[in-house]
Amino acid sequence: MLLFKKKFLDAIRKGTKTQTIRLWKWRRMRAGQLSYIPGAGYIVLDEVAEVKLKDLTDEDARPDGFATANDLRAEIEQLYPSAEEAGYRAFRIRFHVCPPEDQHRLREESRRRKAVRRGQATPSELR
């Protein structure tokens, strides 16, 4: 699951925000993976690549919803103060929102898996 500030959710749903930069100690996600954004729905990760914050350009910042690389770096610094000094690395995650017909199917699959975990259904009942 990826969490975003509410101010970004509309752009994610519209497909204008198609990436995020996250600071992690290690890579937590892989390309091809399915993830969920509360308020936006299911996404497919198209790319997860380590990047250097100092090397980001204005062109890199735009798919993230920022006009300039400096604006993007300022937001990252606010979200992750002192993270780089603590050994965190920056990862660019490029993604796209799953189409509406897949959103419904994925929600149903998730609901069924949760029912099995809670003991409210058996795996054979999911078929």
> Going from the N-terminus, what domains does the chain have, and what CATH number goes with each?
6-99 (2.30.130.30)
- pLDDT reading at 126 higher than 60: no
Average pLDDT over residues 58-82: 95
- pLDDT reading at 121 higher than 90: no
In whole numbers, what is the pLDDT of the chain averaged over residues?
93
Average pLDDT over residues 21-46: 96
Residue among 127, 51, 58, 48 nearest 95 (CA): 48
Q: So what's the pLDDT on residue 127?
A: 56
